Chains A and B, each alone.
Chain A
Amino acid sequence: MRLSVDHVTKYSYDQPVRGVVQSHRLTPSAFEGQTVLDWQIEVSDGTPGGQFRDGAGDRIQSWSVQGPVTEITVRVRGTVETVDLAGMLKGHRETVKPEVYLRETKATWADPGLVALAAAVEGAANPLDAAHRLSGAVADAITYSPGVTEAQTTAAEALAQGAGVCQDHAHALIAVARHCDIPARYVSGYLCADAEGAPHEAAHAWAELFVPGLGWIGFDPANRCCPDARYIRLGSGLDAQDAAPIRGIARGPGAETMLVTVSVAPGQSRSSGEGPSSGQSQSQTQQ
């Protein structure tokens, strides 16, 4: 499936800031499930930093913008050819050991509620079955409901509310998986809105669980499926903050507002899907 992406993030400051530095994880991963046909990242008035592939296989690049500046636009455009691998991350070059993804973070800490949810693995036929059960349990426990959670919400809080967005689903699945000693990580990427117009965001997130013998497998509890040809994978991390496509810092007192528009559409034509996105963590703090 050929998917085109147009992802624009506009940062505005009510007072000029002295400068901005960002670290991007905005290039699609290289694996058998996707091939980049063309891809461009533009940062208004930005100077690109050195780029490299980190141990998790993500392409990372930093950008700096010298101020004074009141507005910065980050625009990502490109086309990716995708194949449905039933969630498997085949042929992905990475050197981080799966055990590293057993580490707890604040957002993915398993509280008693999540520990109870993890009981879903009982009676699982094999590790893959266990992963499916956990993903299903998370989907049942947290209803998709935009606006009730925010970027800082933890897995435990989302479960307590019983509602959240893809970030919360991913965090909850990671928490229960790690509790069961299954390495799990947060994945950020894009999702092409399907024909029926199901309510999910174009900027998307899901989880990957490590299954011995098969490797990393994606699970998207928000959509009760494994990533297929509609998904574009950007990068991974221990949690949403660690996997954020954009991490940035502005120097200066100006208050920041951020507007994100993402469209992911089949073929070359770009269609709707615009609007502020709640699905992807694009943390930017100020100093």
Chain B
Amino acid sequence: MRRALFSPKGGCLTDLNKNPEQDRGVVQVTDYFNEMYQNGAVRPPYARLEDWMRTMPAEFRQMKQAEAEALFRRIGITFAVYGEGGDPDRLIPFDMFPRVFTGQEWAKLERGIKQRARALNAFLVDVYGRGEIVKAGRIPARLVYQNEAYEKAVVGFVPPKGVYSHIVGIDLVRTGPEDFFVLEDNCRTPSGVSYMLENREIMMRMFPDLFRENRIQPVDSYSERLRRTLASVAPAKCKGEPRIAILTPGHFNSAYYEHSFLADLMGVELVEGQDLFVEGEYVYMRTTEGPKRVDVIYRRIDDAFIDPLCFRPDSMLGVPGLMDVYRSGGVSICSAPGAGVADDKAVYTFVPEMVRFYLGEEPILNNVPTWQCNKADDLKYVLDKLPELVVKEVHGSGGYGMLVGPKASKAEIETFRAKIEADPDNYIAQPTLALSTTPTFVAEGIAPRHVDLRPYCLVGEQIDLVPGGLTRVALTEGSLVVNSSQGGGVKDTWVLAE
């Protein structure tokens, strides 16, 4: 019965590929890359899992699934991935079937991710400095300088070590054995890394045998690497061991769990704006032993809220005067204010150009071809091909305000057409990608479901990446939207040692 759900050909026997749109003449991708099965054989990274999967009794699986859920509930990890909205207390479904990469596959990904993180940071240093890439005509000035995320307040200020984005979350999808595409970059405060760590922890606890049978590279060094990264960008004025704090908007924030989890793992303070104050040239933290100077702030609040004297005057979440201390070298802020201009969906199109311009290299990871609706030719194409494309809001996130053409009804497409025509600047479009699938536990047994991947690249004095990331899985059959607000779940992600 469990076997029956998988075809030996690597496709599947569920009706994932049978789509109701075919009758309407919509072009559909039906050949998804299955990461476990290819040409009737099990791909090497999944070799051991085949047996595990086949021999697992259904009752055992249900018991384990219940156990996993209880564990997640107990540790309280119930938040939605940043910016996705939805019920903050809802548990994101955890799928026990791991997603696996070979060491070789990862090696290429790692090179590509690090390359991209370097280019994005080089771009940020440039556009807040001389703006060479704009002068060279490689990216339109308007996209950069009139971007809402471009912070005039930090122009001319170079953050310690020239790093703006210290944690770069790069969302990747796979469409074939060698084909990876970057869906978007997250240069501000990408969240979800606590899932990467907890998913692994829970898998190890529930299935210790799997970790004996497979040579899985550990991810638990992430917190220490993050701490080292943050310490490496302490301001020049800081002598000795820098004091690091995580600045959270507070417990009502959906990612509060992650903030406290990371603070705990790193052994640093978790603070809210009201716990910090500016005195003279520095920022201090109130403690029971009196004020303590803070050197590095890993902030998990948006630019607009970090300092009411520089940005939104009505913000109660930030620290008055923080930006002046930052700009006079008294504290480091990670990610640096202004980093968001690099991960805008319209700027995304130009990341491959950044790689060529700053690094003189060819991009290892490809972008998804993107049409900008603010260009007349692109707009015409997009409106013509709407039923085939994925259309996104330039500043949107979390799978909201998004059209997946092949999955949408005629009426939905027409509604969206009107929205695009009314405000073309606000939309970009991409082809509907054939996201790869991995085996996933579903009610009926095991079936392929579409996945993406968010690795977390650390950038400080050095550039660092743990072998792994967060795999999100679209649990709804046939769905290509992995966001947790749209029915997505998470998986443990393995990178095997060579």
Contact = CB atoms under 8 A, between A and B. Distances in A.
Given A23-B324, A56-B152, A62 B145 contact: no
B320 A249 contact: yes
Most buried by A among B146, B309, B316, B323: B309
B280 A51 contact: no
B279 A66 contact: yes
Nearest to A95: B156
Interface stretch (A42-50, A141-149, A161-169): A42-50
Given A64-B279, A95-B156, A97-B141, A22 B327 contact: no
A254 interface: no
Interface in A52-68: 52-56, 60-62, 64, 66
Given A48-B280, A249-B309, A56 B320 contact: no
Interface residues of B, number: 37
Contact of A64 (B131, B280, B313): B280
B53 interface: no
Contacts, number: 108
Nearest to B311: A242
Given A50-B325, A60-B327, A285 B314 contact: yes
B11 interface: no
Interface string B46-76: 0000000000000000000000000000000
B152 A23 contact: no
Contact of B280 (A49, A56, A60, A248): A49
Contacts of A287: 308, 316, 320
A96 interface: yes
Given A64-B278, A287-B316, A55 B310 contact: no
Contacts of B308: 249, 285, 287
Interface string B275-291: 00111110000000000
Nearest to A66: B279
B400 interface: no
A54 B155 contact: yes
A19 interface: yes
B455 interface: no
Most buried by B among A19, A64, A96, A102: A64
A285 B307 CA distance: 12
Contacts of B142: 99, 102
A283 B309 CA distance: 9
A241 interface: yes
A49 B328 contact: yes
Contacts of B329: 50
B79 interface: no
B309 A55 contact: no
A52 B328 contact: yes
B206 to A, nearest CB: 47
A32 B325 CA distance: 30
Interface in A235-257: 238, 241, 247-249
A21 interface: yes
A103 interface: yes
A64 B321 contact: yes
Contacts of B277: 19, 21, 64
A64 to B, nearest CB: 5
B330 interface: yes
A54 B281 contact: no
A50 B314 contact: no
A61 B129 CA distance: 21
Given A249-B309, A285-B308, A96 B152 contact: yes
B150 interface: yes
B155 A47 contact: no
B153 interface: yes
Contacts of A285: 308, 313-314
B154 interface: yes
B278 A247 contact: no
B330 A54 contact: no
Contacts of B211: none
A250 B354 CA distance: 44
Contacts of A119: none
B259 to A, nearest CB: 22
Interface string B257-282: 00000000000000000000111110
Contact of B155 (A56, A61, A64, A102): A56
Nearest to B277: A19
A57 to B, nearest CB: 9
A246 to B, nearest CB: 10
A188 B35 CA distance: 62
B350 interface: no
A61 B131 contact: no
A215 to B, nearest CB: 17
Contact of B313 (A54, A66, A247): A247
Contacts of B381: none
B157 interface: yes
B490 to A, nearest CB: 38
A55 to B, nearest CB: 3
Contacts of A23: 309-310, 321, 323-324
B156 A54 contact: yes
Contacts of A160: none
Contacts of B129: 95
A100 interface: yes
A286 B264 CA distance: 33
Contacts of A100: 145-146, 150, 152, 155
B279 A47 contact: yes
B278 A99 contact: no
Contacts of B145: 97, 99-100, 102
14 contacts: A22-B321, A48-B281, A50-B325, A50-B327, A50-B329, A50-B330, A62-B321, A64-B321, A96-B156, A97-B134, A100-B152, A102-B142, A103-B148, A247-B310
Given A50-B328, A60-B324, A99-B142, 15 more contacts: A21-B278, A23-B324, A47-B279, A49-B281, A50-B330, A55-B154, A56-B152, A62-B321, A64-B277, A95-B156, A99-B145, A249-B309, A285-B313, A287-B316, A287-B320
Interface of B: 128-131, 134, 141-142, 145-146, 148, 150, 152-157, 277-281, 308-310, 313-314, 316, 320-321, 323-325, 327-330
Q: Which 10 A-B pairs have the closest CB atoms?
A: A50-B328, A55-B155, A55-B156, A62-B324, A99-B145, A21-B321, A249-B320, A50-B281, A47-B280, A21-B320
